[in-house]
Amino acid sequence: MKILVNGAWRETDASDLAAALTALGYGEAVVATALNGEFVATGSRADARLTDGDRLEVLAPMQGG
């Protein structure tokens, strides 16, 4: 299936968010995730099922004012 990751379409076989992050190469990176605009805490990623067309945001610390 295809999911939109940070604005770019990506192909994935992962059925949940935790598996998708690993497959996408985020590994142990410190990131926060939101699925279809809703925050998904680290501990809930394995329970967050993915479906075709989902919008995933993967954010990390960045410079800010």
Among 46, 51, 53, 59, binds another protein (CB under 8 A): 59
Q: Which one of residues 33, 48, 50, 54 is an interface residue with another protein (CB under 8 A)?
A: 33
- Based on its alpha-carbon atoms, the radius of gyration of the chain, rounded to whole angstroms, reads 11
Strand partners, 23: none
Query: For another protein, which is the closer residue by CB, 52 or 65?
Result: 65
Q: Of these, 7, 9, 11, 13, which contacts another protein (CB under 8 A)?
A: 7
Q: Is the Cβ–Cβ distance between 6 and 57 less than 8 Å?
A: yes
51 touches another protein by CB under 8 A: no
